[in-house]
Amino acid sequence: MAMTDGEVLSDSFSPRRLLSSQTVYKGRIWDVAQEEFEYAPGMDPLVRDFIKHPGAVAVVVLNDADEVLMINQYRHPVGMKLWEIPAGLMDIEGEPPHVGAARELAEEADLIASDWSVLVDLFLSPGSSSEAIRIYLARHPVPVPEDQRHERTDEESDMEVRWVPLDEAVDAVLAGRIHNPSAVAGLLAAVAARSKNYASLRAVDTPFDAHPLLRSAEPRL
């Protein structure tokens, strides 16, 4: 069906009546939930298992030379070292997403940025996970003072950091050399935003209403 004149292309909230919810696996970082819900009147209830995820934030950092900050990190589930953008979990209760993004940028890349905007929002795997991620654009970065820098451990302890021309990074995405989803989405969105001189971007504190844990309460049994 074709869109009508003036109709805006947009995802929409579509809550269903929840009949039951239980945690079937308790993990170190995220859990697996099983929920039964009423899809439509007259239909038998549906049951779905999914990863219950706190959500995440990520940052595309651009310097004044139109270079993007890329970090190289080992990811055990895929057995690869991936080129990514700074990112982290929304795992501090009550912390606004943009504050978490600034914290992750300082911790992972030893940088502070003075110009922030919302770049793009996405669900990473909406058929199997509640993970929602907001990606920010941060410009005009400066180093964190050395005495205030975060000590990185585990997979972050040997991360390589590299400044790459934005167009070169996008070429790597389109050539299939970069696979991290937040990097792919963020880099492509940054180029699209640049084509409009970044005028179309949302304010850094725009509410993240699509995030399942930040939206208004849904109908419950």
Q: How far apart, in whole angstroms, are the C-alpha atoms of residue 172 and residue 68?
A: 13
Reply yes or no on whether 35 is catalytic: no
**What contacts 205, CB < 8 A, 6 or more positions away?**
96, 98
**What contacts 79, CB < 8 A, 6 or more positions away?**
none
> What is the pairing mode between strands 56-62 and 132-143?
parallel
Nearest C-alpha neighbor of 124 from the set 38, 54, 174, 59: 54
Q: How far apart, in whole angstroms, are the C-alpha atoms of residue 87 and residue 64?
A: 21
- The total number of residues written for the chain in this structure: 221
Residue of 107, 156, 160, 168 with catalytic role: 156
Q: How far apart, in whole angstroms, are the C-alpha atoms of residue 64 and residue 92?
A: 31
Active site residues: 156
